Amino acid sequence: MLTFIVRRVLWMFVLLIVISFITFIIFTTLPSADPVLLRAGRRASPELIASLTKTLGLDKPWYEQYWIYLRNLLFHFDFGYSYQNNISVRAQIFDRIPATAGLALGGMVIWLMAGIPIGIVAAVKRGTWMDKAAMGLALVAISAPVYWLGLVMLYLFSKDIGVIPIFEGQGSYPTSGSLFTNPIGVGKSLLLPWIVLAASFAAIYARFLRANLTEVLTEDYVRTARAKGVRERTVIFRHGVRAAITPLVTILGLDLGILLGGAILTETVFNIPGIGRLAFDSIQKSDLPTVEGTVIIAAFFIIFLNLIVDIIYAFLDPRVRY
């Protein structure tokens, strides 16, 4: 088990370096706006441009630039400085993580709380109106794009019904501190984004669990449990759901990893200053260090959560051993 983890962690570093390299190449070799010109403003003098090029390190060949970047990253955990904002990318990202994490984790709680019971009920009451209603609703939720659903929700709940505070002005969205000091306020303002983010995930999880559980309930070991005289509720949960929900852990790990790297659409619709927004803005401004940083962080979350899932799996399924 330990050698497995060590091996996977080493692999994680290799992967992250490869990913950083690919992102770097894309930005330096493919045509994009010159960050120096963006930075220097209109009617910049050639001296200013030359000195900016030098300060940003863009006068060096690309491989040297990459080497300096990689060295700083590996030995100092330094992502460099943003071309645009003049602060360190690390500080920028760490500043944004709480908002994204709060959005992703809260959304996850909601979609699990909705998706799992709905999936179980639909599987157990298969073919009844409850199943049909749940799966019909799921289809709608999967089909509705986040930006559309988000706008509809905003319109309904903030304007018409007006029960949820939205756009209260700058700084109304919580950062890490207020998550603990002001949980109710945070919860209120994040409720809509959570629901919008969770809708399609809840639907996918419900459908997945329904399909899995339907199959598991025809397994021989479920028949054995019934033949033992186990109560039907116990048969469904202890014998059925326990087996059917395990593959869901894999998907959950991936989804959460992707979302921690930034839920761009939801963050944009609800104006949440998360990593997704940061990535989106810096791509528009050709802010390479920030883009690199967000890509590496996003990749890290995905790879790391995959590792966690694999470790958890060994505890969930006794047949899995590393």
Partner 1 sequence: MADATPLLDVRDLTVTFDTDDGAVQAVDRVSYTIDRGTALGIVGESGSGKSVSSLTVMGLTRFAGNARISGQVLFEGRDLLTAGDDELRALRGGEIAMIFQDPMSSLHPFYSIGNQLIEAVRVHRDVSKSQARDRAVEMLGLVGIPDPRKRIDDYPHEFSGGMRQRVMIAMGLINDPKLLIADEPTTALDVTVPAQILELLERLQREFNTAIVLITHDLGVVAEVTDEIAVMYAGRIVERGGKDAIFAAPQHPYTWGLLQSIPRLDLPRGDALTPIPGRPPSLIHRPAGCSFHPRCAFARDVCVAAVPELDDAGQQSGHAAACTLPRPARDQIWAALRDGATPQAALAATTVPVPGTLLESAPAAAAEAAS
Residues of this chain that bind partner 1 (CB under 8 A):
219-221, 223-232, 239, 242-243, 246, 316-319
- Residue 322: CB atoms within 10 A of its CB come to 13
CB of 204 to partner 1, least distance (A): 24
* Comparison of 159 and 321: residue with beta carbon closer to partner 1: 321
CB of 95 to partner 1, least distance (A): 43
* Comparison of 77 and 129: residue with beta carbon closer to partner 1: 129
In degrees rounded to 5, what are phi and psi of residue 68? -60, -45
CB of 132 to partner 1, least distance (A): 16
Measured in whole angstroms, how far is the alpha carbon of residue 14 from the centre of its chain?
22
CB of 116 to partner 1, least distance (A): 18
* Comparison of 180 and 315: residue with beta carbon closer to partner 1: 315
Angstrom CA distances, 104 to 189, 237, 258, 272, 304, stand at: 14, 27, 9, 12, 16
User: Per-residue DSSP letters for 187-255?
Assistant: HHHHHHHHHHHHHHHHHHHHHHHHHHHHHHTTSHHHHHHHHTT--HHHIIIIIIIHHHSHHHHHHHHHH
Residue whose tokens read 């760490």: 94
* Comparison of 155 and 221: residue with beta carbon closer to partner 1: 221
How far apart are alpha carbons 86 and 69 in whole angstroms? 16
CB of 226 to partner 1, least distance (A): 6
* Comparison of 245 and 295: residue with beta carbon closer to partner 1: 245
